[in-house]
Amino acid sequence: MNNEAVHKALMNVGIEKKDAERYTVIGCYEPSAEGQEIPCTVNGRINMPMAVETVLNHGRRYGSDKQIGIDFGNNFVDFEALYDAVKKQLAVWSEMAIAEISEIENDYPEINQSPIISGTYENCMRTGVDAYSGGAKYNNSSICAFGIGTITDALVAIKKAVFEDKLITLDKLTEILKNNWNSEDTLRKTMQEKYPKYGNNDNEADDIALDLEKHMSDCINNKSNGRGGVFRLGFFSIDWIIDYGKKLGATADGRLAGEPVSKNICASVGMDKKGVTGIINSAAKFDYSLISDGTVLDLSIHPTVVENKEGLDIMTSLIKLYFKKGGFAVHMNVLSPETLRK
């Protein structure tokens, strides 16, 4: 984890510099002001690619009559109109999550007293208020938005194929996605291979990813919660990508229905074609001061790349490069196909 990036992110949600610099890590990469903050990491989760599906399908998932989103109709005159609808859907879901979480938090004093934890918090001891009743110095909550690679790639594919290249109409594409690319292998391959993808240092794709990050920050960061604190944005997914992917229909980037969505701030599987430096350069463009509940870039490296001292120097240089560019956290898997088969 990059201390400097973590400090900036915590300070961005009102944590004093001296407390931000003395942070601890919850779970994997969720920073918290040690002994001062109850951050409640992951009170809510937002599967961002689902916003595209519901916008294309009148506020419903493919194959469902249940309304879970706004019906924007289908008369999108240009990509900007469609993209604006997707962002509005994400904003509404954020508001819903914030409202429900805050309502639950109002009941914490009745159902979740924590006297032992409170005894380890200086501010709780000074005020005599339980940690989960707002007694900590910082009483924050966190919502994770994930699937950034999948939603970015899907939006770019729609932008290029529908609105620029006029390769297909939006209505026709939506029907194809509802049918999970059935008998449309050629179009699916075009959507997968022809258009820019997040994770390759391509500004056309990366700019949408950055804009979505800022949008989710505006929707979540520093909104009041039910315990006298604020909400913090997380951008990680861990293994939710599997369960949430199962609930998601086919996407315009060529992904099949039910397949996992993209992980953490990684590219979609197999879509980072420019090697480890390509994904590092894409991920380093994010403003990590907006992601105070944390995120991580997962890198997979073959053992032969990092063998011996020269290889370790390469690994060290990659980490230093990512942090120098402002990256938040990096996780390296050194694996071979042989190791995985064993």
Instruction: List pLDDT tens digits, range 218-263.
Output: 999 999 999 999 999 999 999 999 999 999 999 999 999 999 999 9
Token reading at 294: 């944390």
Residue 95 has pLDDT above 90, yes or no: yes
CA atoms 40, 283, 272, 156: torsion sign? positive
- Confidence class of residue 275 from pLDDT cuts 50, 70 and 90? confident
- Over the chain, what is the mean pLDDT? 95
**Partners of 33 in beta bridges:** 23
Give mean pLDDT, residues 69-82.
95
Is 103:44 a contact under the CB 8 Å cutoff? Answer: no
Residue 40 has pLDDT above 90, yes or no: no
Q: Residue 243 has what pLDDT? A: 96
**∠251-257-263 over CA atoms, to 5°?**
70
Q: Residue 340 has what pLDDT? A: 86
Best CA proximity match to 89, nearest among 97, 100, 77:
97
Question: How does pLDDT run across 290-336, given as a tens digit for each residue?
Answer: 999 999 999 988 888 888 899 889 899 999 999 999 999 999 988 88
Give mean pLDDT, residues 199-203.
96
**pTM of the predicted model as reported, rounded to 2 decimal places:** 0.95
**∠217-51-59 over CA atoms, to 5°?**
135
Q: Residue 136 has what pLDDT? A: 96
Give mean pLDDT, residues 64-74.
94
